[in-house]
């Protein structure tokens, strides 16, 4: 295995990441306003902002799911216990002792085991939960006359809010981790340029140099 600077984040992946981040911040801002945490905009403006950002994000997620499945990038999110404990120990203890990060990015494993597990949980549980409850709340007028009671809407709202706070906690932790280890700029740069240092096997290096020379810089 040798270390090389490789384009690991494609143009669509970077567009998806930053557009998703913007939409989530808009949703958190408008959602907090709807719940009365601030009065920076009118209630009606906040509701429309929330609905438009939510629908836009759902469309983006649909395209992202299709992209992950058709390109094989879903493999980066496969969880593994191999190396999970050293990474967890590093973030809980070693990082404060100045230790080196125990995980080195590889071509088909650009997320460390803890990242992969966290992102998988986000995509399989939190995102679907926020979709379902948000769409249920938005379409309440269509099913409110059915056999369900008003208590159902209250529970939908509670679950939606709790999941939103969980996503907000994930965002806070994500941003915090960008400030650890290397500089914040070094952590963010790969998601801007697409290039990052990863370990390649001789076969992977030969493949990139022969078939995709634009993805490898050195």
The closest of 150, 163, 125, 124 to 31, measured between CA atoms, is: 163
Instruction: Write the pLDDT tens digit of every residue in 115-151.
Output: 999 999 999 999 999 999 999 999 887 877 766 666 7
* 111: helix, strand or coil: coil
Position 128 scores a pLDDT of: 95
DSSP string for 145-161 = TSS--HHHHHHHHHHHH
Measured from the Cβ of residue 215, the count of other Cβ atoms closer than 10 Å reads: 18
Residue 72: left (phi > 0), alpha (psi -120 to 50), or beta?
left
Position 28 scores a pLDDT of: 97
pTM: 0.88
What are the chain's domains? 2-215 (1.20.950.20)
The closest of 21, 23, 24, 42 to 33, measured between CA atoms, is: 42
Mean pLDDT for the chain overall: 89
């Amino acid at each position: 295995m040798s270390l090389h600077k490789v384009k690991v984040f494609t143009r669509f992946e970077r567009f998806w990441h930053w557009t998703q981040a913007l939409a989530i911040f808009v949703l958190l801002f408008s959602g907090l306003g709807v719940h009365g945490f601030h009065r920076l905009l009118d209630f009606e403006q906040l509701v429309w902002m929330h609905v438009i950002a939510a629908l836009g994000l759902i469309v983006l997620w649909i395209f992202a799911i299709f992209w992950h499945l058709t390109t094989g990038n879903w493999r980066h999110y496969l969880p593994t216990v191999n190396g999970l404990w050293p990474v967890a120990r590093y973030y809980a203890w070693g990082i404060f002792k100045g230790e080196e990060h125990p995980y080195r990015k590889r071509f088909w494993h650009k997320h460390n085991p803890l990242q992969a597990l966290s992102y998988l949980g986000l995509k399989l549980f939190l995102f679907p939960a926020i979709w379902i409850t948000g769409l249920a709340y938005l379409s309440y007028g269509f099913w409110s006359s059915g056999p369900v009671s008003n208590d159902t809407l209250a529970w939908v709202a509670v679950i939606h809010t709790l999941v939103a706070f969980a996503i907000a906690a994930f965002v806070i932790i994500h941003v915090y981790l960008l400030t650890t280890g290397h500089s914040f700029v070094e952590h963010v740069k790969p998601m801007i340029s697409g290039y990052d240092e990863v370990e390649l096997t001789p076969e992977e290096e030969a493949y990139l140099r022969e078939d995709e020379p634009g993805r490898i810089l050195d």
